[in-house]
Amino acid sequence: MQHVPGIRDVYNLAATLLTIQGRLHRLQLAIEEAQAVLKRLDYGVRDYQRLIERRCLALDRRCDVIQIDLDFGRREMELLESRLASSRPGVSPVCDADAKLDDWCLRDEGKHQGAGGDLLSSQRSYLPFIRQATPDPAAADVLDIGCGCGDWLALLKQEGFRAVGVDSNPDRVAAARRAGLQVHEADLFEYLKSIQDRALAAITAFHVVQSLPVESLPVLFAEALRVLRPDGVLILETPNPENLQVSGYSFWLDPAHVRLLPPPLLQHLVGHAGFIEQRIERVNPWPQYRPADQDRDELANRLNRLLYCGQNYALIARA
């Protein structure tokens, strides 16, 4: 057979191409295997991230419980110190204990009215309801019952309202007056009785009603209705017993608290007094609270609501 020039070169080139194709195929297989490994690693990282998130959430909850336990232990120590001090000769046990309790309440005022949140910032949400009751702030009076040291009064004053407070604690009254606020030291019922009919545009009471005997609430609401002008607004904020952490524990950290008031009960009492257009606003949820999610189990949604929903609620009603 006659030798064809260059045939060996063609054979060599073909062999080289086959070798390259084999290497490319092996490289493709290696790439696919590496991609599979990376995908498994990605899934593993995501699972680990979810695990870390669950652990962090559990740690946050545990820290919350520990903080509450520490606060409760400190309060027990303070009450024990109060009892020891009251046993000293020449000191009236009842008067000394009352003084200690008032001092404790003054120092810890608002600490458990919505942990983790700025109370004054939360109270700003009530300003629109007061503006609706009195379009001209300078032409109407607002009364804050149990005003404490006057933070809410100061905000009302800053917004242009004629705000007056009443509190029975002389230390709180003195602190509010030092801040340039108009505050009366008096029993809230006696002070309400001294006000003329339809004299006020709004009455507010933050964390007061839960510290009053329940039989006194109808009297309070009747007097409030009397002194409010038509379309005046009543705003009451109190701990929310729908939150199990509140009703089962944190509510009882304050020895001044008498009883929890479920929203329907407070609505019934206020409605029976003659107030109209009642509404409930739940405020200060725990940081762990998540709105109901259809993709989440119904039991998980219910537990989330019971444990982490608003720590407080406000009843807003019109005269």
CATH of domain 119-318: 3.40.50.150
The pLDDT value recorded for residue 80 is: 65
Taking only the tens place, the pLDDT of each residue in 158-173 is 999 999 999 999 999 9
DSSP state, residue 146? T
Taking only the tens place, the pLDDT of each residue in 109-120 is 544 454 434 567
Tell me the pairing of strands 312-318 and 228-239.
antiparallel
Query: How high does pLDDT run on average in the chain?
Result: 83
Half-sphere exposure of residue 140: CA atoms within 13 angstroms, side-chain side? 23
Tell me the pairing of strands 312-318 and 276-283.
antiparallel
Q: Are 311 and 266 in contact (CB under 8 A)?
A: no
Q: In whole angstroms, give the CA distance from residue 274 to residue 269.
A: 9
Alpha-helix residue ranges (DSSP H) falling in 87-199: 93-107, 119-123, 127-133, 151-158, 170-178, 188-193
CA distances from 100 to 58, 73, 78, 227, 285 (A): 36, 16, 9, 34, 31
Taking only the tens place, the pLDDT of each residue in 76-102 is 676 666 656 555 444 333 334 444 445
Reduce the DSSP state of residue 108 to 3 states and report it. coil
DSSP state, residue 276? E
The pLDDT value recorded for residue 296 is: 64
- Domain spans of the chain, in order of start: 119-318
CA distances from 122 to 26, 117, 150, 240 (A): 65, 8, 15, 15
The pLDDT value recorded for residue 86 is: 52
The pLDDT value recorded for residue 2 is: 53
Q: Are 270 and 317 in contact (CB under 8 A)?
A: yes
Which positions of the chain have pLDDT values less than 50? Answer: 1, 88-101, 104-107, 110-112, 114-117
Residues in the chain: 319
Q: Are 261 and 241 in contact (CB under 8 A)?
A: yes
Half-sphere exposure of residue 277: CA atoms within 13 angstroms, side-chain side? 11
| Single pTM value for the model | 0.65
